[in-house]
Amino acid sequence: MWVLATDFLPASILYSVLVTAIITLLIAILFGSIIADYALQATDFLAKAILLVTREENQIEAPDAKLLGASKEFLSELAKSIYELASTSDNLSKHDNSELPFYRFLANSIPLPVIVLNKDRQISFANESALNYIGLPASEVINQAFYDAMNLSFVSSLTLESWLDDCVKNVALKNEIWERVRLNLPNNTRKQFDLAAHYSNNDPNGLETILVLYDRTNIYERDDHDLTFVALAVHELRTPLTIMRGYIEVFEDEIEQELNNEQLAFMYNMSASAQQLTSFVSNILNVSRVEENALLLHLKEEKWQDILIPSCKDMELRARVHNKKLVYDIAENLPAVAVDKVSIYEVLSNLIDNAIKYTHTDEDILIRAYEKDGMVETTVTDKGVGIPESLLGHVFDKFYRAHQNKNSTGGTGLGLYLSRAIIIANGGTIWVDSKEGKGSTFGFSLPLFSSVADQIKSEDNGSIVRGAHGWIKNHSLYRE
């Protein structure tokens, strides 16, 4: 079976464009930084492609098994030969309609799902692997808007759609690779894959984007199960941890006056560490809730300073035991915000905790809150180590940590990812401004209560309930 939208261009041209594009893309992937695991799959395709492109007859043999076990040297040689082949487009364009079956076979024999989009982001072509992968008949795929046929979620804020928007505005030719893309299927099932995209705006036939999917469902699902397991295990930490904090509090309340300075410092260290462990535990639990879309927020009218100041006071102990001070610049008379106070506490805790962790001097940490553009903005500024510019775009990604030196800093790489999910669910935005060696400012905005008052009052219990979509869907991000 093969499927093609032929109403606007001859099939042979489409196929030869396709072959060129796929080969270019695979070359880009091979020469680029894509993970070595793909090499084998790519070899499979490259080998077939070489055989197909160089043979005169249409009789196609399966690629030699020996080629699949090829060494790296062989792979680079192979890639080079194909690149040369592909770049002399004469080789491909000289094929005419009589060679259509040849191209058709080529496209459909690729063991990877391949999808081609036109300028309107409709699916012009999907090979057999792609149709099998999506699990839809050709009639529901071809000529359909891409996002109607495929419900995708991306882990980072760069989605396929935002990337394409950017490409259309700025470039003629670009490649991009995403990891951990989710394809959400009916019956609550999903597949997970890495996605390679090649964009080119100078194709005369209106073909604009070619997508190649590398299925990684097994590996990524295993990661997700690990997280679920960790969440279950971590849940068991809550009771003993609550008890420890309770007893530490008894000491603070009842024997503080009897301790000498060193003992007092020990008690505060103990208290701050127990608090930090508590944040860690709730981060893990909440990330697993975000993943399952089970983190529900209750947005209510709150005076922002009544939440911000007590939350920061809780964090002051942590700052103090690390010889740092929190200083405040909070505007008077801030308007009321609509916020879920339990989850926003976690955001503040994560941001301040990071500021403490990544400041190795005794510089103060500044917390500001002010009204701007109909939102209340809050920032946490440190004069710590800062974040290299090249990594700034990834700080809100899952498992991301700018500083891998585990000796000086702890952390799961989940705090900012979670903070972002929480802020978005609260109806705000989160951002970072940082310079390596100078320090970082993390900020977030929250909607004014007045902007959602009508909606809140119309609910039964006077609050809006929202879920946190940790996975940013193309749909929800651009269409709501």
> Hey, is 397 helix, strand or coil?
coil
Pick 71 or 458: Cβ nearer another protein: 458
Smallest distance from another protein to CB 461, Å? 7
Smallest distance from another protein to CB 289, Å? 8
Smallest distance from another protein to CB 467, Å? 10
Smallest distance from another protein to CB 243, Å? 4
The alpha carbon dihedral of 412, 214, 17, 120 has a sign of negative
Pick 40 or 342: Cβ nearer another protein: 342
Residues 361 and 380: their CA atoms lie apart, in Å, by 16
Smallest distance from another protein to CB 304, Å? 14
Site for another protein in 227-256 (CB under 8 A): 238-239, 241-243, 245-247, 249-250, 253
Pick 419 or 474: Cβ nearer another protein: 419
Site for another protein in 108-167 (CB under 8 A): none
Site for another protein in 399-458 (CB under 8 A): none
| Residue 1 binds to another protein (criterion: CB under 8 A) | no
Q: Which of 129, 206, 210 is nearest to 177 (CA)?
A: 210
Residues 94 and 92: their CA atoms lie apart, in Å, by 5
Paired tokens of 92: 């491909």
Residues 209 and 118: their CA atoms lie apart, in Å, by 7
- Which distant-in-sequence residues (6+ apart) come within 8 Å of 423 by Cβ? 347, 429, 430, 444, 445, 446
10 Å CB burial of residue 432 (0-12, 13-18, 19+) is middle
Site for another protein in 261-280 (CB under 8 A): 278
Paired tokens of 174: 């670009």
Pick 104 or 298: Cβ nearer another protein: 298
Give the one residue of 260, 461, 479, 480 binding another protein; rule: CB under 8 A: 461
| Residue 342 binds to another protein (criterion: CB under 8 A) | yes
H/E stretch holding 1 reads: none
Please compute Rg for the chain using Cα positions. Answer: 27
Smallest distance from another protein to CB 234, Å? 11
The type of residue at 297 is L
Site for another protein in 370-399 (CB under 8 A): none
Beta-ladder partners of 473: 153
Smallest distance from another protein to CB 293, Å? 12
Over the window 310 to 339, marking each residue x when it contacts another protein by CB under 8 A and - when it does not, the resulting string is x-----------------------------
- How far does CA 59 lie from the centroid of its chain? 44
Residues 318 and 314: their CA atoms lie apart, in Å, by 8
Paired tokens of 406: 């585990």
Pick 239 or 260: Cβ nearer another protein: 239
Largest CA distance in the chain: 95
Q: Which of 373, 378, 302, 367 is nearest to 335 (CA)?
A: 302
| Residue 68 binds to another protein (criterion: CB under 8 A) | no
Give the one residue of 46, 281, 365, 376 binding another protein; rule: CB under 8 A: 281
Pick 40 or 465: Cβ nearer another protein: 465
Smallest distance from another protein to CB 248, Å? 9
Please give the size of the binding site for another protein, defined by CB under 8 A: 20
> Hey, is 472 helix, strand or coil?
strand
Over the window 284 to 313, marking each residue x when it contacts another protein by CB under 8 A and - when it does not, the resulting string is ------------x-x-------x---x---
Please give the residue ranges that form the binding site for another protein (CB under 8 A).
Answer: 238-239, 241-243, 245-247, 249-250, 253, 278, 281-282, 296, 298, 306, 310, 342, 461
